[in-house]
Amino acid sequence: MSKLCGCVGNECLDIAIKYHSESIDKIGKIAIGDWIDLRAAERVEMKMFDFKFISLGISMRLPEGYEVLIAPRGSTFKQFGIIQTNSPGVVDNSYCGDDDIYKLPALALRDTVIEINDRICQFRLIANQKELRFNIVETLGDQNRGGFGSTGKN
């Protein structure tokens, strides 16, 4: 088992990571940005409208109080013609067993082939949301913006 470490000064979180494939490159922090690429751990051929859970070939034990968001890379649709069906995906820290393998639920919008080690998605470690309390009110007391999807419209 190896560790992924994104240390900055004295701030560091260790993530235990188990690889289920020797064919994929080890993951690590990229030079620019905070998201970390994940790779296909299997060769996948998909026809238009096929659905498949694509193995990412890793299991991780996250630090207590953290979870992972998984989203497609910006080029995933252009390169492979797939979309992530639960985008973004959320993995909490209880998904941490040796056989809790990360996967990308993918829907093909055209015929495609994804090779082992292709970068198909990315993840970001985030702190769990604090506990919330909902207070029922009659009015929020703010001005309406025009409804859902109205931002930027005149």
Helix (H) / strand (E) containing 80: helix 76-80
Q: Is 92 a catalytic residue?
A: yes
Q: Which of 25, 92, 98, 111 is catalytic?
A: 92
Q: Return d(Cα 16, Cα 60) in angstroms, integer.
A: 6
Q: Return d(Cα 32, Cα 6) in angstroms, integer.
A: 13
Angle at 4 between CA 92 and CA 78, to 5 degrees: 75
End-to-end CA distance of the chain: 55
Peptide bond into 63 cis (omega under 30): no
Q: Return d(Cα 66, Cα 124) in angstroms, integer.
A: 10
Name the residues annotated as catalytic.
Answer: 92
